[in-house]
Structure 1
């Protein structure tokens, strides 16, 4: 039996995680689904499952938090029940900007996880953030710096695929990712 497949897209803000995920779902609408993390806090709600501090405490008490991080004054959570739901229907696509999060997911939830590093230069993050109207570009650049530091501090981290999104189109990246997952599935069946 083939292990269920999951996909982690790692990279700094505005590296293209949302855009590549949209291209993946356009390529195979029924195969891929972006994992909507729980969010405890305020601000943007689209793409998140909004939650409360009390609900987070209950998940923690049950051992159902795979990974939680704090950024932009909010808490973002990858939870086992949420992953179970997405895995039942599709290949979940998780967006992360912390290597600790990648490790927590790969080690903390049993699946065949493919890890993809989406990268872009800092000035590209700044331009994309401003172009899409982010009100917190300065915070996103600080997160870019933290992501760069994360990578520099963990040179042993091995990615299944690394793509510079400043030079590769979202549809090309989606095709590469889709091919990667198909190869992994084929290897698992062999």
Structure 2
């Protein structure tokens, strides 16, 4: 039986993960951003807000595929959440750590397409300021960490790389959709 397709979008803050995901959803309603479980405070849009108790329960049951801490919060990719996302369509998982890619590809059975969305640091700064982020300095530190992460893991196998400072979101979405169609051997996912 063929594994279901999923998309991993990796890139620094403000590289276009949300915007490209929206363009994918516009292209085909089956694409939907995977809502990670977030334990902490701040922005709740795009997340399933959770509690420390839920986090402990997932840890005890082995339900955590990957978790990371950033901006004072814990972000979790969980097996039950992925199960639900795959049942609904083609999940698009946003990541900013190469270790997360490996954990997801190795830890959850799916036909993952791994896409690097990139933009220069100054573009992250401009986009972050332009959208009114109150933590642009932290996002630039995360950009630096992402650059270091890439330098530390030079052999990461990207199925596709898109410079979002050059490519429009709709063009990036079409490239990703075409990639999934090629990998599945079908016309469209």
The number of aligned residues is: 186
Give the equivalent residue in structure 2 for 1:14. Answer: 14
Give the equivalent residue in structure 2 for 1:90. Answer: 89
| CA distance in structure 1 between the partners assigned to 2:117 and 2:28 by the alignment | 20
Give the equivalent residue in structure 2 for 1:39. Answer: 38
Deviations 1:58-106 (A, max 9, x none): 0000000000000000000000000000100101000000000010000
Give the equivalent residue in structure 2 for 1:169. Answer: 168
| CA distance in structure 2 between the partners assigned to 1:185 and 1:171 by the alignment | 21
Secondary structure of 2:185 counterpart: helix
1:158 Cα deviation after fit: 1.3
Give the equivalent residue in structure 2 for 1:137. Answer: 136
Secondary structure of 1:115 counterpart: strand
Q: Where does 1:14-93 land on structure 2 (aligned, <5 Å)?
A: 14-29=14-29, 31-93=30-92
1:7 Cα deviation after fit: 0.5
| CA distance in structure 2 between the partners assigned to 1:111 and 1:46 by the alignment | 26
Runs of 4+ displaced beyond 6 Å:
none
1:2 Cα deviation after fit: 2.4
| CA distance in structure 1 between the partners assigned to 2:148 and 2:39 by the alignment | 26
Deviations 1:135-163 (A, max 9, x none): 00000000000000000011111100001
TM-score for both structures, normalised by structure 2: 0.97
Deviations 1:7-51 (A, max 9, x none): 00000000000000000000001x211100000000001110000
1:3 Cα deviation after fit: 1.4
Secondary structure of 1:44 counterpart: coil
| CA distance in structure 2 between the partners assigned to 1:158 and 1:86 by the alignment | 24
Cα RMSD of the aligned pairs, angstroms, is 0.7
Gaps of 5+ in 2: none
TM-score for both structures, normalised by structure 1: 0.97
| CA distance in structure 1 between the partners assigned to 2:53 and 2:22 by the alignment | 32
